[in-house]
Structure 1
Amino acid sequence: MSAAMLISVPLGASANTKTVTSYPVSSGVKYTQNTYSGSSYINHLAVDLGDPYTKIKMGVPSPLAKTAPTLTLANRDSKEGNRVVGAVNASFFDMKTGMPMYLLSQGNEIVNGGVISSSNSYYVSHPIAFGVTKDGKAEIDNFNLGIQVDVNGNTYQMTGLNRERQADETIIFTPQHVKNTTGSNEFGIELVVETDSAIKSTHYGQKTQGKVVQVRGYGEKAPIKIPSNGFVISVHGKKGLERFKSVNVGDAVSLNLSIDDKWKDSEFMMASGPMLVKDGKRHITMDTNNWRATARTARTAIAISKDKKQVHLVTVDSRSGYSNGMTLTQFANYLVSQGYDRALNFDGGGSTTMGIRNYGSNQVVLANRTSNASQRNISAIVEAVSTAPTGEPAIVSVSRSNIGDMLVGATADFKINHVLDAHYNPITTIASQAKTTSTKGTVEGTGLTYKAVKAGDDRIIVNYGAAKQSFPVKVVAEPAKLTVKSSATSVKPGGKINFTATPADAAGKPIIYNANQLTWSVTGEIGSVTANGIFTASKAGKGQVNATLGTKTIAVPVEVKSNATTNPTPNPTPPSGNEKPDVTKLFKDVPLSYAYATEIYYLRDQSVINGDIDGKFNPGDTLSREHAAVILSRAFNLEPTENAKHSFSDVPKSHRYYNEINAIANANIVGGHANGTFDPKGELTRSQMAMILVKAYKLEGESAKKFNDVSPQHGAYKQIHILANHGITTGNEKGKFMPGLPVNRAQFSAFLYRSMNL
């Protein structure tokens, strides 16, 4: 036991920690998610008790035996001036009765009496508690709960208060017990004591005197009611029976309840265990060889700093394919690596839950991934609370509907993500209160719409009250590039040619413009053109169809011949649903009637895919990882590179697709396996495809409807349902996605096409 308690953490443990995300949820509470050793996800809430608006509190169900999920209890307690901004599950509890198993108190009021195990194979074999003492500081330390009875000149220490009596125990029941009877079996005796007045509280420092009014003898089964003006002594075991066998009706009895001075008048305290860290070193107060300690599972703990002003709520997840959990020793080592002075274990496994307040809402939502699909009902939580009232706007977050160079005269929109006060409390937004300006006057706007008014490099400023956000903008008089394509170069009188124009900046990226800013005209009396670029020939002759955007005009020669035949040319612009591929260049095995013909020919015309030398596409062939790399490098216009940021042991420089695989790896679109290989010849599965497309196109938002063959434990669970949310996949008629099946060339073309044209 002592050896397990004194071994310190190995040097360098903190180097295994990598921060995934970190941000404040209130002025005194910060949320952080870490990975540890690359296999476990750990969530933190750092609570600064030195912040005047920050508190740590305890939350329990009402009634006490009615368990509830962590988030339910947190949101129940959250209100203006007492915003719960984070919470974790805390006390262990009896899953049959729902009652907490260990001591809980608020102020000096004893909420639950609790028990301490006599065996260090259990979590709580030492009386240790976390709480906030009367000076407002956090504490993790031993406690000494005194439950003493004086009778016939003798003083006896009771083993528990207001909980089920176990073997060889003597328990006190007061009117604050969750039931009005003791519920003790007949294998013991019970003494009913009444006082002169009602007992309305059970608290530390309480001294109660009365007389025995009833004795239920050994073997008697009649239930004993707890008097409103007294208490019951329930006795079991040889030692207890020997002590109380001579107590009779009329005998005077007194009950004294006490706690150490350190814990007296504390804001709250809750017993748990084992202790994990003491004085900055690992200090585990249970047998670390016991299965409870050696299991790699989800864990919850609370830790404090040496000055007792910083509290840290910590959870580690355990879910297949996501996070491996930790043994108790690993968990203690991690807590030591974070620099905590003391730490105490809370209930873990399926109970482990952390909730936080996200920006823009006062609702506490799940921060970790629970071991099961849903939260477990629990009996007590620890809450991080912000008492700051909602103030004036201090932080605004907006996002633009389009990003890129803006054409003079073009309009664009914002979306207000959230407005917060200085303490991160959300403020209800009114669109008309947003104001848009720019440093040099190139942009102006009101509400959520802004307009480019003159050319120049500038910075947009969005104000919401005193809160503001800014970002750069470039306004141009004309696009750097304007590409015009036509469905034919010559036509008969009465025939039609479809024209499309694609404006772009110098790097080839789309610019922001209004559809009505692109105008079409005809030079020469050969026909007319509509506002959407459809030319209708009227008489033979030569002329031009002109596309004008801003100050730039592009002219395309057109000849109208009485005997002309249509000469189709490729049209690489995103399809509207009416365009047809170049019929002179169809793949032999992909007729226009093929289910994915539109998608395949669109990607071909964009030079994203090619057929084989025999003129076939082979749509039903399984797609390999190396061919997926080639296709994606073309889709993102990635320059092949020989400078590899990622070196794969099975992709030497002599590999045919070495440069393309490097390009997508450098762009962080597709990675390798944990063993350092890329597996170029390996089949690309449907779930791998989902992960690639979600990462590549930065898609967000899961669909509410889930596939019945993709469990929450699946490694691509989130990504698959993000694809479904965007309509990129629908699954089959049986509601299945079939994540493990390989993707064929046609299916990948369809998924990529839909992702490119969202």
Structure 2
Amino acid sequence: MLSRTKRKVAITAMSAAMLLSLPLGASASTKTVASYPVSSGVNYSHYTYSASSHINHLSINLSDPYTKLKMGVPSPLSKTAPTLTLANRDSREGHRVVGAVNASFFDMKTGMPMYLLSEGNEIVNGGVISSSNAYYVSHPIAFGVTSNGLAEIDNFNLGIEIGAKGNVYQMTGINRERQADETIIFTPQHDKNSTGSNEFGIEIVVETNAPVTSTHYGQQLQGKVVNVRGYGDKQSVAIPPNGFVLSVHGKKGLDRFKSLTVGDDVSLTLSIDDQWKDSEFMMASGPMLVKDGKRHITMDTTNWRATALTARTAIAISKDKKQVHLVTVDSRAGYSNGMTLTQFANYLVSQGYDRALNFDGGGSTTMGIRNYGSNTVVLANRTTNSSQRNISAIVEAISTAPTGEANILNVSRQQVGEMLVGATADLKINHVLDAYYNPIVPNSSQIVTTSSNGTVEGTGLTYKAVKAGVDRIQVSYGRAQQSFPVTVVDQPAKLVVKSSATSVKPGESITFSATPEDATGQPIIYQSSQLLWSVEDEEIGSITSSGTFTASKPGITEVRATLGTKVIAVPIEVKSIEAPNPTPPTGGDIGQIIDFFKDVPLSYPYATEIYFLRNKQVITGDTDGNFNPRNTLSREHAAVILSRAFNLPPVEEARQSFSDVPKSHRYYNEISAIANANIVGGYSDGTFNPKGQLTRSQMAMILVKAYKLEGESVNKFKDVSPQHGAYKQIHILANYGITTGNEKGEFMPGTPVNRAQFSAFLYRSMHL
């Protein structure tokens, strides 16, 4: 921090070769990083300035009935402490410190403040004014809150007058270390019992008729000299509890007071100019930076103290003296460049402040604020060093508002996304505040969750989705409320099922997993217990609730994942340990089978249909010799099969182009061919969605259009309403016996078609 040598302020060295300063008059931009109220009359903001400096700002409205400014000092005064320590020490119910900055410069050797501090009319610290404008404080200027409750930054005139032998003399200080050529007064309110002055001067002890219990403006003391310690005497001089000590150094002072002897009358008068009399507090500092809205720096701006790029602290006021601004600029390598004193003054002018005064900067620059949900004042800025520096005085923004009822609620959802009917989700209480931003300790059982359309409900920190719909969640805590949008669905838009293998031998196990997603591919909210696993043929194998399939005997079956109303079937083959090669039969509608699929024995339910299409070269298997009949069919593979079934020649130019099927696409010719033949079209957004799964309803629409089928079945499927987009086509297929639905009378229009089912439907359509 700052110390003092003789009558000059000695500042901790700061390198002027740090970072290049911003050019004066350069165009500067301010960007808000954060801004919010910390009490009813105090707002905190964090800015970046010219993209090189970080500024923290507390705006205090003294017109707010619950807002005050106070001065905080260590106890004892010489025991320095961090800004946050002092702020939290002073915070209590009805007197909450919501923000603070470091203020007074201090002597690093003694820990004492260097400049005048007073509270009420009580002089807390005497202070000194430098005789050279190379130092920060060469003019008597102070910030304070005057007796009318308004802020002030202005000059002051401190009177410390000694009357002796008919003469009145102005002293240079009170209750601080005596420096060269000074005459200092020590009262019982000094932080030590003795003066501590060296032998190169005289000490005159004066006693009054009553104890001196205060040192304050307007005070007048009359006493008599009871002891004089002579020049060169090293004896310690105690401060009498009922008097004061006159400590003199230098020729001028010695000439004035060397004739005083025991029994002489001496008076002491303390005064301050009228505008500071009865002030709530005042603290001297410097230099002044802004006056009447213009830059006004009361020190030599070419001095290295002013030109150093470093952290700075200032206090500013509005012209009506009702708004006070505590401002810090950080200096930390790689984060914030700091400012010169001129740049800092220019910034304060740009903000429209009427007056501004510099406080202690550099490593001492610290701002603390009260964050939501806590009464503890925490660090808002990034200090120059890794830890806060101990300082000697702070300015505190105080909220006197008592803690009231809940008015502000802030909760967050542990999971965000579409919710499945029956799923539960949890809330986290971030904070509950009253109308004055005082924190309230939350009771989670008082949280009530509802929704406008009744899609969710809950008490406490857990809520449940009860019906599908687009809605808005309303979370209440007493009168405090917060809301979120919510979408509840009865099934995920996508359910991606994966397995660790596609085939297994009897006695072995494989694991299935399912990932539900919304239409954009984001996960939905559901509970694992809602995901149900089943096996089509339980004689072939069984599956646990966690998705582990265990094979029992050879065969082909389906593993089904059900989530809400969504069902996804995945084929699984249990292979014999010694699987014999099948003997190719001949004759019948199949004809001579040249090559068998490994996974389609003749006993397979759709073997006739599959091998008919194989012989016609409409379908082919995979490179491993399998057909994978239970695999779902993509739209691009359906296009390939249909182009072969209708013997459509490849096209070089498509009459209908799709944004997701460029000419480089593997199946561009086949997709373009069926689109040109008006068998399969795309979507309204101009896409074909080649990788998308082909659903049973889409298959119905394709086959009816391709084979120009007409006439609906009288019997209708339970799960296909007249409003369904493929209602007519589905029941045309039923009329021709191409589909019969399941044993429940359902068609399951949204279920993807697998390769075996599509082969069967296509075979039946071709044989009408």
Q: State the TM-score bracket (shorter-chain normalisation).
A: 0.7 to 0.9
Separation in 2, partners of 1:93, 1:47: 25
Separation in 1, partners of 2:212, 2:471: 73
Matched, 1:285 2:301: no
> Which residue of 304, 317, 320 corresponds with 2:317?
304
* Identity level (%): 79
TM-score (norm 1): 0.73
> Which residue of 540, 553, 560 corresponds with 2:554?
540
Counterpart code for 2:94 = G
Q: Compute the displacement of 1:342 (Å).
A: 0.5
Q: Compute the displacement of 1:500 (Å).
A: 1.0
Question: Does the 8 A contact of 1:491 with 1:564 survive in 2?
Answer: no
- Residue in structure 2 matched with residue 342 of structure 1 by the alignment: 355
Separation in 1, partners of 2:465, 2:578: 44
Question: Does the 8 A contact of 1:490 with 1:564 survive in 2?
Answer: no
Task: List per-residue Cα deviations over 1:240-279 (Å, max 9, x = no partner).
Answer: 1111122221111111100010000000000000000001
Counterpart code for 1:261 = D
Q: Compute the displacement of 1:10 (Å).
A: 6.8
Query: Aligned pair in 2 of structure 1 residues 289, 552: CA closer, same or farther (>3 Å)?
Result: same
Question: Does the 8 A contact of 1:490 with 1:559 survive in 2?
Answer: yes
Separation in 1, partners of 2:578, 2:356: 86
Task: List per-residue Cα deviations over 1:436-485 (Å, max 9, x = no partner).
Answer: 00011000001000000000000000001100100100000000111111
Matched, 1:35 2:48: yes
Separation in 2, partners of 1:499, 1:220: 96
- Residue in structure 2 matched with residue 608 of structure 1 by the alignment: none
Separation in 1, partners of 2:356, 2:124: 23
Separation in 2, partners of 1:501, 1:220: 93
Question: Does the 8 A contact of 1:407 with 1:479 survive in 2?
Answer: yes
Matched, 1:404 2:417: yes
Matched, 1:163 2:185: no
Q: How does 1:376-395 map to 2 (within 5 A)?
A: 376-395=389-408
Matched, 1:501 2:514: yes
Q: Compute the displacement of 1:563 (Å).
A: 3.9
Give the SS at the match of 1:165. Answer: coil
> Which residue of 51, 60, 67 corresponds with 1:47?
60
- Residue in structure 2 matched with residue 226 of structure 1 by the alignment: 239
Counterpart code for 1:284 = I
- Residue in structure 2 matched with residue 216 of structure 1 by the alignment: 229
- Residue in structure 1 matched with residue 193 of structure 2 by the alignment: 180
Counterpart code for 2:545 = A
- Residue in structure 2 matched with residue 110 of structure 1 by the alignment: 123
- Residue in structure 2 matched with residue 558 of structure 1 by the alignment: 572
Deviates more, 1:484-493 or 1:79-88: 484-493
Counterpart code for 1:208 = L
Separation in 2, partners of 1:170, 1:427: 54
> Which residue of 338, 345, 360 corresponds with 1:325?
338
> Which residue of 137, 161, 165 corresponds with 1:124?
137
Counterpart code for 1:322 = Y
- Residue in structure 1 matched with residue 494 of structure 2 by the alignment: 481
Separation in 2, partners of 1:564, 1:381: 87
Matched, 1:465 2:478: yes
Matched, 1:142 2:171: no
> Which residue of 248, 269, 272 corresponds with 1:235?
248
Question: Does the 8 A contact of 1:193 with 1:214 survive in 2?
Answer: yes
Q: Compute the displacement of 1:83 (Å).
A: 0.3
Task: List per-residue Cα deviations over 1:396-441 (Å, max 9, x = no partner).
Answer: 1101111000000000100000100011000001110111000110
Gaps of 5+ in 2: 1-22, 580-597, 599-622, 624-768
Task: List per-residue Cα deviations over 1:348-381 (Å, max 9, x = no partner).
Answer: 1111111000100000000011111111110000
- Residue in structure 2 matched with residue 97 of structure 1 by the alignment: 110
Q: Compute the displacement of 1:497 (Å).
A: 2.1
Tell me the number of residue pairs that the alignment of Structure 1 and Structure 2 aligns. 558
Q: How does 1:191-206 map to 2 (within 5 A)?
A: 191-206=204-219
Question: Does the 8 A contact of 2:24 with 2:343 survive in 1?
Answer: no
Counterpart code for 1:180 = N
Give the SS at the match of 1:262. Answer: helix
Task: List per-residue Cα deviations over 1:324-356 (Å, max 9, x = no partner).
Answer: 111111111111111111000001111111100
Q: Compute the displacement of 1:487 (Å).
A: 1.9
Separation in 2, partners of 1:403, 1:219: 80
Task: List per-residue Cα deviations over 1:609-629 (Å, max 9, x = no partner).
Answer: xxxxxxxxxxxxxxxxxxxxx
Separation in 2, partners of 1:301, 1:288: 16
Counterpart code for 1:233 = L
TM-score (norm 2): 0.72
Q: How does 1:701-712 map to 2 (within 5 A)?
A: none
Q: Compute the displacement of 1:184 (Å).
A: 1.0
Separation in 2, partners of 1:267, 1:154: 33
- Residue in structure 1 matched with residue 467 of structure 2 by the alignment: 454
Question: Does the 8 A contact of 2:226 with 2:262 survive in 1?
Answer: yes
- Residue in structure 1 matched with residue 543 of structure 2 by the alignment: 529
Task: List per-residue Cα deviations over 1:99-127 (Å, max 9, x = no partner).
Answer: 00000000000000000000000000000
- Residue in structure 2 matched with residue 512 of structure 1 by the alignment: 525
Counterpart code for 2:41 = G
- Residue in structure 2 matched with residue 250 of structure 1 by the alignment: 263
- Residue in structure 1 matched with residue 713 of structure 2 by the alignment: none
Task: List per-residue Cα deviations over 1:594-637 (Å, max 9, x = no partner).
Answer: xxxxxxxxxxxxxxxxxxxxxxxxxxxxxxxxxxxxxxxxxxxx
Separation in 2, partners of 1:389, 1:291: 47
Separation in 1, partners of 2:24, 2:65: 37
Question: Does the 8 A contact of 1:113 with 1:163 survive in 2?
Answer: yes
Separation in 1, partners of 2:505, 2:177: 96
> Which residue of 53, 56, 71 corresponds with 2:84?
71
Counterpart code for 2:512 = F
Separation in 2, partners of 1:172, 1:392: 52
Asked which structure has the greater CA Rg, the reply is: 2
Q: Compute the displacement of 1:11 (Å).
A: 6.5
Query: Aligned pair in 2 of structure 1 residues 512, 486: CA closer, same or farther (>3 Å)?
Result: same
Separation in 2, partners of 1:449, 1:89: 44
Q: Compute the displacement of 1:168 (Å).
A: 0.7
Q: Compute the displacement of 1:217 (Å).
A: 1.5
> Which residue of 56, 60, 74 corresponds with 1:61?
74
Query: Aligned pair in 2 of structure 1 residues 11, 120: CA closer, same or farther (>3 Å)?
Result: closer
Separation in 2, partners of 1:29, 1:448: 32
Q: Compute the displacement of 1:12 (Å).
A: 7.5
